[in-house]
Structure 1
């Protein structure tokens, strides 16, 4: 952002309220993604499809984020940020309401895709706005605060869907999400300052995305975070079938995992402000060791519970450092790069769950941690390569 934009944000905005508005909207977009997993049987029965087909509404949302997000960012590159943020919030609300009133499966898919297309760009605007509002030297914390909306959604999305949708109607949780999103839009409308349209355009955004360190950061997200997906996607059967934990213990452990992710994200954001390189390398080294230990302690309940809690802390600790790395190299045109990196986390989940599924089908449920560790090592190597190029060298 320009110095003029920065001064406008600091003098006319109320940063706490701006952050609150973006956190609410990021929470809503993340929750909408995870809610479906908690209401699949009810959704399938209501619209007359199989449970497997109903599960494809998750895929539709993920594709909307990964594919639609960058396209929306490119098409809106020259629009003023406040108007764009409010418009994207309304697009999400409209898409969610389409899902609420959808009479058929096809309309559910339409609603999911419409709402998903807003997520990546909205998230990216929230990150850049928060980083500017909080000032120099606090980018990591700004990113962590906005991202906390997503980590809370990860913790609460499926349980909220199961609790509200299972006891009432699968459409009710989506209606509640739409109402909360309306609150987020109203908060931004009243607190976010109007700023001039960005001086940068589509070519600047694409040129920034194609910089070596930015591409390396995105690749690091896909490859490094996929290692978490390999283990976490099949964590429940691992804990029940291999570790032998009681079914009543596992939900509480998963909740603790999610809380750990929330805390780890905030801690990593603070450390990223102090030393981005050491934070990113430290997180990946810890992730490699933790994932590699999973197969070794899988049959022992006490250490396994400890490993799950540690993995929870590390699961989202890459978000703030990697997005900070993108901001470091993106200069004045960071929105597309940040949006693509948001989609990269979705892609990492998809890759990790697919590869983990192949391993489970081959009877390797216990040993998935070794595969995850290999991906984390690759992520560490890519992160080191991205960190080795300074912004000054990158801009030459």
Structure 2
């Protein structure tokens, strides 16, 4: 792994830990702050919306700035936000702190993706982006289970304080290892960055990102009560299942980068089909603990196969102004997080059982599959029009 990408991966580890660990601590947070578990689940939605609205604001504000100072500033904002989470006295102050923390999330991964891709040859760009996101997936192997265990032992605030320490290390790594002249802003400036948003394929790629995350978070937001109530696992066992989920994500992320360097859109479509099948298997066999554990691992693997391809898809379709589009795609992922967490909570409120939540995830993912097939059909139609005629035109 090139050292600059390693520095970015350290920061993505911290970001991933903060984003996902709250799900393993929902009962503790709810009890401490005097709210219901579905209300605590809205902290996931609040974070996601912070990414959605913060990403374009920061991307536009920093369009003319050098990439390294922007990345250092975003990592620093993340540290401050987590410190505010650790000391938040009430539910609403914690919500505000989560939103502040989230503001730098989308821009960091968007700009970081462009930076990572610029450090390697074109045929290895998806793999480079996968290395950046490896920090995010490793967070689910080490950060989330470790943070969940730490929060259960010493209180959920201790988890956020630990992330602050790791965040300071990531700021130092970026300042030290990332070249000052890496991935300069596009020559077309802000106007060029905005112009690419007129391309249908950019929006279709981002819509797929929304649906993928929506399907994930419709169920994963409530993974702890699902595993304890449906699969019959103990609270302590959930930590180890989350570890397996993170291991699956890490493996899937690397596989996805390599597959995307080979066949990008077929990878996207095939992965969406596989996700729907995994959700169906969870709905059918989730009540059997052994099957549930294996399927959660497979779910994490398949779900993160699609992340590098989707990020590269957006960068390629927005080649004339990739920074804003790549950042907005992170907002799209988190818009899906917010929508999925809301859909999952609404389904539970309307009487859907935890056992049936995988079917909700499958339905949302199926919409993403339909959009991906549409986008791929447009690609093939455009390629057919651009192909030379087999005989001289008269």
Match in the other structure for 1:116:
102
Stretch deviating more after TM superposition (367-376 or 72-81) = 367-376
Q: What is the Cα deviation at residue 18 of structure 1? A: 0.7
Match in the other structure for 1:12:
none
Match in the other structure for 1:71:
57
1:248-287 matched pairs, under 5 angstroms: 249-287=237-275
Match in the other structure for 2:389:
none
Match in the other structure for 1:174:
160
Q: What is the Cα deviation at residue 366 of structure 1? A: 3.0
**Please, which of 29, 33, 49 is the counterpart of residue 15 of structure 2?**
29
Stretch deviating more after TM superposition (317-326 or 293-302) = 293-302
CA contact (8 A) 1:144 1:269 kept: yes
Identify unmatched segments of 5+ residues in structure 1.
Answer: 1-14
Q: What is the Cα deviation at residue 123 of structure 1? A: 1.0
SS in 2 for 1:388: helix
Stretch deviating more after TM superposition (308-317 or 126-135) = 308-317
Q: Distance in 1 between matches of 2:341 and 2:225?
A: 13
Q: Paired residues, what number?
A: 380
CA contact (8 A) 1:227 1:376 kept: yes
Q: Does 1:81 align with 2:67?
A: yes
Per-residue CA distance 1:155-184 (angstroms, 9 max, x = gap): 444433333344345443333322222222
CA contact (8 A) 1:20 1:184 kept: no
Q: Distance in 1 between matches of 2:242 and 2:327?
A: 28
Q: What is the Cα deviation at residue 256 of structure 1? A: 1.1
Q: Distance in 1 between matches of 2:320 and 2:67?
A: 14
**Please, which of 375, 382, 385 is the counterpart of residue 386 of structure 1?**
375
Match in the other structure for 1:93:
79
Match in the other structure for 1:210:
198
1:206-355 matched pairs, under 5 angstroms: 206-245=194-233, 249-355=237-343
Q: Distance in 2 between matches of 1:335 and 1:89?
A: 17
SS in 2 for 1:316: helix
C-alpha change, 1:102 and 1:274, in structure 2 (3 Å) is same
Per-residue CA distance 1:93-123 (angstroms, 9 max, x = gap): 2333344455666654444333221111111
Match in the other structure for 1:375:
364
C-alpha change, 1:33 and 1:199, in structure 2 (3 Å) is same
Match in the other structure for 1:5:
none
CA contact (8 A) 1:161 1:173 kept: yes
CA contact (8 A) 2:145 2:242 kept: no
Superposed CA RMSD in Å reads: 3.0
Q: Does 1:148 align with 2:137?
A: no
Match in the other structure for 1:127:
113
Identify unmatched segments of 5+ residues in structure 2.
Answer: 387-394
Match in the other structure for 1:4:
none
